[in-house]
Amino acid sequence: MGHWRGLLELLYLVLLGWTLVRGQAETDLKLDKEGVEVEDPSGTVKNVELQISCPEKCSCSGEGAVDCNGVSLTEFPQDLSEETRQLSLQNNQITEVTLEHLSRLQQLETLNLQNNRLTTQGLDDEGFHILERLSYLYLANNKLTTAPRHLPPSLVSADFAANQLTKIFPNTFGQKPALKSVYLHNNKLTDAGLPENMFNGSDNLEILIMSSNFLRYVPKGLPTALFRLHLKLTTAPRHLPPSLVSADFAANQLTKIFPNTFGQKPALKSVYLHNNKLTDAGLPENMFNGSDNLEILIMSSNFLRYVPKGLPTALFRLHLKNNKLEKIPAGAFDNLFHLRELYLQNNFLSNDGMDNETFSQLNSLEYLDLSNNNLSTVPLGLPRNLILLHLEKNSIQSITVNALTPIRNLEYLLLHNNRLRSRSIHPAAFQGLKRLHTVHMYNNLLERVPRGLPRRAKTLMLLHNLISEIGRNDLIMLYTLTELNLSYNRLTSAKLHREAFRKLRILETLDLSGNKLQTLPLGLPKSLQVLKVKDNQMVEIPEGALMGMSSLRELYLTNNQLKLNSIYQGAWQELSTLTTLDLSGNMLSHIPSDLPESLEFLHLQNNRISSISATAFLNTPNIKSIFLRFNRLSVHSVSEESFSHLSKLQVLDIGHGNISPNRGKAGEQVEEVEEELPYAEEEEKHS
């Protein structure tokens, strides 16, 4: 009996052990998101850790972000983890997204499918609705013709721009309490394609962009939280939400604005109405009544004849260019104390269309553009704090004594393309303008340098006038000039006084091109860094003309009549920092001797050079480019050693009218170079 009892106890212990082992194995077989059961051929069950897979060519992070941007996918990835939260699939060729693709991605918060090949047929209509955590959906730049019927209520931002949408459904954007921004621009939406109250239940929408569609009216029932609205319409809306901060109606065909279109909008900061068909009759009286915080108003490129009345006092930027303005009514700008920028160019304003008080109250104005109008004189009463004044492209013939002098802060004065003559500019016209440093008076009728130019000027542009003479003292007070352009006037050597530039001791750039100078002027400032005397009739560089010009870096003597024997001996050695020398279009027969060691760019094209000696460039080891086309060179007139030591040479342009130097083996001839080719490559090619 004792024996059987012992056996039973042993059997009991075996059964108990087997039960415990079995129970543990079953526990191990319970899967979580990090384990999976595997059974080997022997029947033993093993527990293996699951590694979250990442689609091929994509990159993944432990935070649930999968980036497949621009990896040439043609199908939606199949092996995505259920824990994916951000999925970037933009810039691929995906054509289809099904309910099956999305059903596993219940944690998805951001889905970017921009710039694929999705069509409405390839997009499951219910697919997005099951994504209960989806906040950001980007479907721009596809081929959708209708929007999804249902989007999840969790949506915060939706981008359907640049598709071919013609229809939106009530629950596409309706009933989305978290929705903040919707982008629908560049589609084919019409008023008939929008549902009644398309944002019903989406009261927190702040940004709506619907420009570049075919809408005639503003969608009804816009949320009151809206602060940015971009539309392109044929008729302006009668009412917009009072919460509006910015409204863009540019590039439409608007002809009429209503009182409450932009009125009664205390938060309104900017309005864009340019490129429409607005006339004075189409604007209501005080169109911004109750919108006192408006700062930016753009109404350029319309058909306005008068400045709108009752503009908000907070304005600091006002664009009215490209209209048909003829007159600025009295008091139009009186309350614009904060206005800093005023654009009135390309209108029909004349001196009769404004008075001495028109701009007088604009005490904050810094930028005024009155260019391309019908002004005959510089207007009186200009704002005293102006910094930049555009008056170019008018018919201004005179500047009176007190037109500019009150503008003490003026720095830039642009008067080019007018009809100014020197005698019609009062000698005291610029008196007291100590900050005026840039004056443009080119393309006028000036016969001499005007008297009384601003003493602190740094840049003076007098090109394309009728100036035929510069006397000894015409420039004497312009001692702060750094740039002077007198090109394309009627100056001759006889009428250019040799001491005319004596006070210009810090002048860096001087342009005397396009005149009738016979010799390079004497007495040029030693401070010059750039000197241009192109397109003259120069036959000589007289002794000492370049003496002391150790700062000159660029010298342009193009299209003159210079010969080697007309340039004084040692002229180029004076220029110890010269990097660019342009002697093209002259009558040189050889490479000039004694070129400075600093030279990098040498232009000798279109001369009469017939040979190049072995020592021609011996003193120019830093040269990078040599231009020699249109000369009289032949293969036998160029020494083989002429360029061999120029280790920095990059461009050797021999081109048309010449034969390249013989750089090859005996009996070989290098073909004519027609383009600017790197010399080093040519040398390697023919060596």
| Predicted confidence (pLDDT) per residue in 528-555, tens digit | 999 999 999 999 999 999 999 999 999 9
What is the pLDDT confidence band of residue 641, given thresholds at 50, 70 and 90? confident
Q: What pLDDT, on the 0 to 100 scale, is given for residue 396? A: 98
Instruction: Please name the residues in contact with 219: beta carbons below 8 A apart, sequence gap of 6 or more.
Output: 194, 198, 199, 210
**Cα 303 from Cα 252, distance rounded (Å):** 13
Q: What pLDDT, on the 0 to 100 scale, is given for residue 326? A: 94
What is the pLDDT confidence band of residue 109, given thresholds at 50, 70 and 90? very high
pLDDT tens digits, 110-119: 999 999 999 9
Cα distances (Å, whole numbers) of residue 166 to 211, 255, 273, 371, 378: 14, 26, 26, 44, 54
User: What is the DSSP secondary-structure string of 654-676?
Assistant: --TTS-----SSTT--PPPP-S-
Q: What pLDDT, on the 0 to 100 scale, is given for residue 52? A: 57
Q: What pLDDT, on the 0 to 100 scale, is given for residue 218? A: 80
**Proportion of the chain above pLDDT 90, given as a percent:** 75
pLDDT tens digits, 306-359: 999 899 999 999 999 999 999 999 999 999 999 999 999 999 999 999 998 999
Instruction: Please name the residues in contact with 103: beta carbons below 8 A apart, sequence gap of 6 or more.
Output: 130
Q: What pLDDT, on the 0 to 100 scale, is given for residue 665? A: 33
Q: Which amino acid is at 662?
A: N
Segment 15-23 shows an average pLDDT of 44
Residue 3 exposed, middle or buried by CB count within 10 Å (0-12, 13-18, 19+): exposed
Q: Which residue has the higher pLDDT, 597 or 39?
A: 597
**Proportion of the chain above pLDDT 70, given as a percent:** 88
Segment 5-26 shows an average pLDDT of 45
User: What is the DSSP secondary-structure string of 471-505?
Assistant: -TTTTTT-TT-SEEE--SS--BGGGB-TTTTTT-T
Please give the torsion angle defined by the CA atoms of residues 87, 90, 92 and 95, in that order, rounded to the nearest 10 degrees: 80
**DSSP assignment, residue 53?**
P
What is the pLDDT confidence band of residue 586, given thresholds at 50, 70 and 90? very high
Q: Which amino acid is at 648?
A: K
Q: Is the dihedral of CA 357, 358, 364, 365 positive or negative?
A: negative
Evaluate if residue 14 carries a pLDDT over 90. Answer: no
pLDDT tens digits, 381-401: 999 999 999 999 999 999 999
Q: What is the number of alpha carbons within 13 Å of residue 31 lying toward its C-beta?
A: 9
Mean pLDDT of the chain, nearest integer: 88
- In this predicted structure, which of 38-52, 461-475, 502-516, 570-584 has the lowest mean pLDDT? 38-52
- In this predicted structure, which of 98-102, 141-145, 637-641 has the lowest mean pLDDT? 637-641
Q: What pLDDT, on the 0 to 100 scale, is given for residue 47? A: 40
Evaluate if residue 177 carries a pLDDT over 90. Answer: yes
What is the pLDDT confidence band of residue 9, given thresholds at 50, 70 and 90? low
Cβ atoms of 494 and 517 closer than 8 Å: no
Q: Which amino acid is at 56?
A: E
pTM of this prediction? 0.75
Q: What is the number of alpha carbons within 13 Å of residue 104 lying toward its C-beta?
A: 14
Q: Which amino acid is at 329?
A: P
Largest CA distance in the chain: 148
Evaluate if residue 42 carries a pLDDT over 60. Answer: no
Beta bridge partners of 158: 137, 182
* Alpha-carbon Rg for the chain in angstroms: 40
Sequence-separated contacts (24+) of 589-592 with Cβ below 8 Å: 589/563, 589/564, 590/564, 590/616, 591/616, 591/617, 592/564, 592/567
Q: What pLDDT, on the 0 to 100 scale, is given for residue 322? A: 98
Domain boundaries, the chain: 56-232
Q: What is the distance between the terminal CA atoms of the chain, rounded to a whole angstrom?
A: 114
CATH number of 56-232: 3.80.10.10
β-pairing, 45-49 with 35-39?
Answer: antiparallel
Q: What pLDDT, on the 0 to 100 scale, is given for residue 6? A: 52
Evaluate if residue 190 carries a pLDDT over 50. Answer: yes
Cβ atoms of 240 and 247 closer than 8 Å: yes
Segment 92-113 shows an average pLDDT of 94
Q: What pLDDT, on the 0 to 100 scale, is given for residue 41? A: 40
pLDDT tens digits, 219-268: 888 888 888 888 777 778 888 889 999 999 998 889 999 999 999 999 99
